[in-house]
Structure 1
């Protein structure tokens, strides 16, 4: 199925991806507490954490253009360099403004690495096995997200914040070394499709092929932002004593387990039913976290969220690949993920302000409502009209926006 050089490239890319996500995830259980220990309120914690998505969002257009025009590798290297540098700068930040600036800079890492990684995997994948290979290669996220938080929580408890930041930076540096020998395939240039003849990056969000996935990810991003920002504080508020990193590990285990069969099955049954199922799982996870009062319940909430994320993000990547020509993939995936970026950016300050009034628990109840709305939107607006959308979302119809669709 793959030639030896492609296997080597994918192997190096896979290990580099593991290091990237482990570096990022190692800071998940400690950063909110680190910011709070500096005297921040819930709203201030949310503002600082939300700046990560501001960096993501602001850099999306330029990085998407870089990945499509200059190549995936240079974009990968840029993302990995940021993930290696940013943890070192946290150590020297002395105010909320400086922490927010570093957090925004850190956001560039995902904007560059994730879109270039997904685009390069698709470039190297035979179309008939695209979903399967995306499923395999996307395992770097749950494995990294499983190892990173546990490592970060352990290092912080044993040696403090500084040791955790140094370890995170070291993982990024090792990832840089692994990316250097990768060679990307030559991409054949195609004339731009009608939706991409307009040069304005943001106006392309108006096309229904992108608009509905981006809107779904906006609502999911709000819930995910609540998870990454406020779960450590919710656990502390609940009086439950356990390593919060284990919640992220439970999410990673679920994500890892579910990706392998889903990626292969989506090549046969379409992306729609799996995206719908992932939104059901996301809603259930938010409900469980809303009601959680024990270690087991928190772990269950994390497990369900991981299962939802393990399906949703790879399936959205495959959906955007189906709907794009090779030289448009970076732009299409980036446009789709804009919704996720905005959701995360809004989650911190908006939900943080609410948490100061009603506590951290209530925001997870609201998050369940948001993901339920996302499911309703996908069921009714994922195709040209409601009947076609429902059939596609349930696996009973084709994707009319796919490049090779007979429409």
Structure 2
């Protein structure tokens, strides 16, 4: 099979979206293996760590529905820009604080920000798909994020082990997330066919984007 004929490389919107997911997946996952260790190092008990991680998931889930509405209102790209901008600061907070409550609150906020990003991410994916190959396109989008997450977790754990420094990992994560934000701003665009459809609509809400 000629790789150039693969839908991932033929469809520019899908390729750019998958690249964004891959960069963010790596960058975000730098933090995954070290956060429990970081919490433990500043004196947070195992029970509290479990509770905070549970609240991370609850916050992430609950915030997705209202921000799905916000995505329709202000535009999916703008919402994702805001979410990635906020997420880039999350690792910095871990660096500058050793206060238990602030660190715990920051982790819950981290989950909420990821929840804010989710509806916008899926919205952008939906218009990046090839209509006749929706399943295949979705598979690529999911796979690159998972692959990036695996790579990022290995790198994050390795750096923390070799340098004995959580702050270095957090700094790398922040820089990578910021890089994904820059990529989003300049590379993610609405397809021409989508913009033409938008111009024909009387209601412009669904067409709002950057």
* Partner deviation per Cα, 1:156-186 (whole Å, 9 max, x = no partner): 1122101000000010110011011222234
Q: Distance in 2 between matches of 1:180 and 1:134?
A: 22
Whether 2:175 is the aligned partner of 1:177: answer: no
1:73 to 67, 72, 77: 77
Residue in structure 2 matched with residue 46 of structure 1 by the alignment: 50
Computed over aligned residues only, the root mean square deviation of the Cα atoms, in angstroms, reads 2.6
Runs of 5+ consecutive residues of structure 2 not aligned to the other structure: none
Residue of 144, 147, 162 corresponding to 1:143: 147
Q: Paired residue for 1:25?
A: 29
Deviation per CA, 1:49-103: give whole Å up to 9, x if none.
2332243234223311122232211122122212211001011222221112111
Match of residue 94, structure 1, among 98, 110, 120: 98
Instruction: Give the number of the structure whose alpha-carbon radius of gyration is greater.
Output: 1
**Does structure 1 residue 161 correspond to structure 2 residue 154?**
no
Counterparts of 2:56 and 2:189, CA distance in 1: 30
The 3 A distance-change label for structure 1 pair 58 and 9 is same
Structure 1's 136 and 190: CA in aligned 2 closer, same or farther, altered over 3 A? farther
Query: Could you tell me which residue of structure 1 aligns to residue 120 of structure 2?
Result: 116
Provide TM-score, normalisation by structure 2. Answer: 0.79
State how many pairs are aligned: 190
Contact kept, 8 Å, 1:32 with 1:49, in 2: the verdict is: no
- The within-5 A match list for 1:8-407 is 8-159=12-163, 160-181=165-186, 182-184=188-190, 185-186=194-195
The 1:190/1:33 distance shift into structure 2, 3 A limit, reads: farther
Provide, for residues 96-146 of structure 1, a one-character-per-residue CA deviation record: whole Å limited to 9, x for no partner.
Answer: 211121112211332133332222122232433111111112222211111
* Structure 2 CA distance for aligned equivalents of residues 80 and 70 of structure 1: 15
What's the secondary structure of 1:138's corresponding residue? helix
Provide the rounded CA distance (Å) in 2 between the counterparts of 1:122 and 1:138.
13
Kindly state the Cα deviation for residue 32 of structure 1 after the two structures are TM-superposed. Answer: 0.6
Matched with 1:247 is none
Structure 1: which 5+ residue stretches go unaligned? 192-326, 328-407
What secondary structure is seen at the aligned counterpart in 2 of 1:180?
helix
Q: Is the 8 A contact 2:29 2:152 kept in 1?
A: yes
Distance 1:125 1:36, change over 3 A: same
Q: How far apart are the structure 2 equivalents of 1:101 and 1:54?
A: 13
C-alpha distance in 2, partners of 1:26/1:7?
29
How far, CA to CA, are the matches of 2:62 and 2:103 in structure 1?
A: 18
- SS of 2:139's equivalent in the other structure is helix
The higher-RCO structure (CA 8 Å, 6+ apart) is 2
Distance in 1 of aligned mates of 2:82 and 2:73? 15
* Cα distance in structure 1, aligned partners of 2:82 and 2:161: 31
Contact in 2 for aligned 1:79/1:108 (Cα 8 Å):
no
